[in-house]
Structures are given as structure tokens and as C-alpha cells.
Amino acid sequence: MNKGHVVQVMGPVVDVKFQNGQLPNIYDALKVNINRPGEETVTLTLEVALHLGDDTVRTIAMASTDGLQRGAEVTNTGAPISVPVGEVTLGRVFNVLGEPIDEKDDIATEARRDPIHREAPKFEELSTKVEILETGIKVVDLLA
């Protein structure tokens, strides 16, 4: 896996410099460890949003960048952020990284995961049958 280091932090926007020719792809997930005083080490996920040139990428942090410092080592995962999909997600609450935040059991590691950025399904793959779509929100279900 390619490694780089943080060169600039501007709120949730983080610039990362990599070695010659080892730039990650747009939408790749990067990982960086943050040592916050009085807390355990936190792993922060960054998503590549832009290639700036000079082997530098601009990323968006998926959580708080408090404690992140210039020079921190960043690792490219080589893949985009992916989240669980299918039956295992019904009735569950997840954060943007696909991690459960509802204090229930963890999702099985063999559960299907899809990247958060992917091609839209082809028109032929979409269902055209007429059916009632229940949202679970009483007012919306009543009016729809």
C-alpha cells in the first residue's frame, strides 16, 4: 500500500503528499492514525477528492480532524469506502463508513459490501411494477 504524509489541514479538508507517481485514485479511502491526548489512538478515514499536482491530493475527512498534525503518515487502502448492503442492514443505523452506530451486534464480515460511489443501475434492471412504498414516516405514508 502506498504511504504519504499530511501537508495541510483546513477543517475537514486535508492535503496529502505521496511519493513520486504513487497517487491514489479519486474516491480511494486513505487511513491516518490520530493520537489525541487522554484518548486511544483514533483511525481517521479520508476520501480522495482531487489531484492537486506535485504528487499531492486533496481529501475530505469522514470524521473530526482534531489532533491531526502535518507530517502524520497516511496509508492508501487502494479501494473506495464501502458499506454493507442487503438484508443485514434492515432496521440498522450506520455512519458514512458503514459502521453500525445503533449499539447492536456488529455486521458479519462476510456480508456483501458495495462502494459508496458506483455506476447507476441500467434502466432494464429497475423494477417497473406498481407497489406501495412505505417510508415508516406516518405523515408521508398517509399523504403519498
DSSP 140: H
Ranges assigned E (strand) in the chain: 3-10, 13-18, 28-35, 41-53, 56-61, 73-80, 82-84, 113-115
The domains located in the chain, with CATH, are: 3-80 (2.40.10.170), 82-144 (no CATH)
Does an H or E element contain 143, and which?
Answer: helix 138-143
pLDDT digits (tens, 9 = 90+) for 11-41: 999 999 999 888 999 999 999 999 877 888 9
pTM, full prediction:
0.80
pLDDT digits (tens, 9 = 90+) for 65-83: 999 999 999 999 999 999 9
Quickly tell me which residue has 496509508 as its cell: 75
pLDDT digits (tens, 9 = 90+) for 78-119: 999 999 998 888 888 998 998 899 888 888 888 899 999 988
DSSP 94: B
Report how far residue 93's alpha carbon sits from residue 101's, in angstroms, rounded to the nearest whole number: 6
Report how far residue 46's alpha carbon sits from residue 112's, in angstroms, rounded to the nearest whole number: 22
Residue predicted with more confidence, 33 or 136: 33
